[in-house]
Amino acid sequence: MPNHPDLTASDKQRLREAVSSFPRFHLLVAGDLMLDTFIWGEVRRISPEAPVPVVEVREETRLLGGTANVVHNVSRLGGKVSVVGVVGDDSPGRQLRRLLDEISVETDGLIAIGNRPTTVKTRIIARNQQVVRIDHESSVPVSRDSTEGMLDFIRNNLPRIDGIVISDYAKGVVTPEFMDAVRAATRGLDIPVIVDPKVKHAEIYREVTMVTPNHHEAARMAGIEIHDEDSLVRAGRHLLEHLNCKAVLITRGKDGMSLFHHTGDMAHIPTVARRVFDVTGAGDTVSAVLGLGVASGLTMKESALLANLAAGIVVGEVGTAAVSAAQLLSALDTY
């Protein structure tokens, strides 16, 4: 597979102009919102009660996670963003709303459900290493009424939307009915729909603009073990044909990204990460940059290159991270 060519001065200028134009574009981000809680501490001893470390807590932080981290990335990149999803009628749900309000995100598309907990992922970290993760969540599909509430918001706001990002964490928001309705609402409109998928839902992503599985997800979705370039190409082409979408972007960790386009074009984009501390949220950053890139008029290959640069930034930070437009422009300058 050919490597992405070196960027010329004019290529870089085009990408800079696109990033600078992000504030002109409005994305709708839908999916499974989460509250990420990080408990930071030190380990100095083993518990006398069981052979486990005792973490002395120094600090707690709460951040936007899951689909809400995609929203955060779009906001930090300068784009306008509306969020669609569900939260519980509980303290974590109110905290999540406050965090969204703090970054001026429209939350009219959020549905509060009384008998459903807000998804909270608590990570306990000592010396930059995750000790354990605790999840509070429900993966039961949301009710028909809640789904219709989200879909009504999407339909009513399509005239001002430049792109849709669906971030599926398989927590009950992204259902076959939801995807069918999004396809029907956007049919015939020039609104790209980009999906960060989950394997168990592979069949419901047909006919979207782009699907962005990681290499493990791509292998399972295609039913092809990916162990070399040939198997990677077969898996990518299979997904492209089976899902009948315009592009498949397979993210491959330290090996970069591979883009398969419906025209038959392929491109490999090598990783630019200099150090990897934590991959948490890197896929969310990729989704946000792809959405804004395609909405701004960049090709899918150009958008993937920007997303690759952004992912290289966030994996160098511990915890859920969001990249800013300034960071992305700086990365472009040194590419």
pLDDT score for 270: 86
Mean pLDDT, residues 302-309 taken together? 93
Tell the CATH topology of 9-35+65-119+138-333: UDP-N-acetylmuramoyl-L-alanine:D-glutamate ligase (3.40.1190)
pLDDT score for 273: 54
How far apart are alpha carbons 283 and 289 in whole angstroms? 10
pLDDT score for 6: 67
Active site residues per annotation: 284
**% of residues, the chain, pLDDT over 70:** 94
pLDDT score for 185: 97
Task: Give the domain ranges of the chain.
Answer: 9-35+65-119+138-333
How far apart are alpha carbons 64 and 59 in whole angstroms? 17
Contact 56, 72 (CB under 8 A): no
Contact 125, 39 (CB under 8 A): yes
Mean pLDDT, residues 233-262 taken together? 94
Mean pLDDT, residues 248-269 taken together? 92
* Residue 283: band (very low, low, confident or very high) from pLDDT cuts 50, 70, 90: confident
Helix (H) or strand (E) holding 285: helix 282-295
Quick one: which of 76, 71, 30, 84 has its CA closest to 195?
30
* Residue 198: band (very low, low, confident or very high) from pLDDT cuts 50, 70, 90: very high
Contact 125, 41 (CB under 8 A): yes
Q: How many Cα neighbours within 13 Å face the side chain of 256?
A: 18
**From 6-10, 51-55, 157-161, 255-259, the region with the lowest mean pLDDT:** 6-10
* Residue 3: band (very low, low, confident or very high) from pLDDT cuts 50, 70, 90: very low
How far apart are alpha carbons 99 and 208 in whole angstroms? 30
Contact 287, 22 (CB under 8 A): no
Sheet containing 257-261: give its strands across.
106-113, 80-88, 26-31, 163-167, 193-196, 210-211, 247-251, 257-261, 266-269
**From 4-13, 32-41, 197-206, the region with the lowest mean pLDDT:** 4-13
Q: Is 88 helix (H, G, I), strand (E, B) or coil?
A: strand
**From 72-86, 180-194, 281-295, the region with the lowest mean pLDDT:** 281-295
Question: Between 165 and 5, whose confidence is greater?
Answer: 165
How far apart are alpha carbons 147 and 157 in whole angstroms? 16
Quick one: which of 175, 176, 184 has its CA closest to 155?
184
* Residue 77: band (very low, low, confident or very high) from pLDDT cuts 50, 70, 90: very high
pLDDT score for 321: 67
